[in-house]
Copies of this chain bind each other. A is one copy, B any other.
């Protein structure tokens, strides 16, 4: 099953040429999930061939502009381009008020429905479950209420030993039950235990999205063992005081968090505009956690 993330924006609040504010799009089994939507996200989608009409779920972490100012424009474009399908939107409760006010004054009546699911910044909650994935909020520690999002692939059905089933001439109509773990009894009454005929599916993968936050142990347990951890790394560690003041993380801290939580891979992003190049941020993180990559615009990472 496809499970990948494409970076649409990697910068923090003040703009810098060629880096856009935060946004990422996940492709999970050919469904697109947008996570944060900074100003210019629509243009980034056009640039990287991400079809906005394929997005059915949008997640907004918090109400700093660099994480949501592209949303009203996107919702409006979907409307103008004829969307009819309901869109699920997850974010802080006040987000709906901001959207409604702007559509009221532009006299926009959307042709499609938005199902708005307010997030709770105080407790981890499962906010979405479908056949492919479950999504939990991650309460983070930022200046204003902020949640990350933990995407966990659903456990897949067991895998059939096709050759063995052929040899035993097991009828096809038994396959679904076998995939779900049932034993098989043949016409002569002989019982085959399920694990003789199937193997366990791969472990479900997970992607943890943590932006914006300062280093805070309280969310570490929840993101344990993520196949991919995206963590903000706004500053170099030399600016730790500034990171603490503004409730952000340094590149070194992001790498420490990847180590502590046993992440398999770390992606860092949300870079301060003061860093014209990103090599130092990457080197600092890799010194602590070698399997780190930069969340560079347009790049797709397989989870």
Contact = CB atoms under 8 A, between A and B. Distances in A.
Nearest to A52: B15
A117 interface: no
Give chain A's interface residue range (CB within 8 Å of chain B).
35 or more
A203 interface: no
Interface stretch (A71-79, A154-162, A178-186): A71-79
A40 to B, nearest CB: 5
A80 B17 contact: no
Contacts of A69: 39, 69, 72-73
- The quantity of this chain's copies bound in the complex is 2
B15 A46 contact: yes
Interface in A52-86: 63-66, 69-70, 72-73, 76-77, 80-81
A228 to B, nearest CB: 28
Contacts of A17: 43, 46-47
Interface stretch (A24-32, A102-110, A282-290): A102-110
Contacts of A47: 17
A200 B188 CA distance: 114
Interface stretch (A93-101, A120-128, A189-197, A213-221): A93-101
Contacts of A176: none
A13 to B, nearest CB: 6
A143 interface: yes
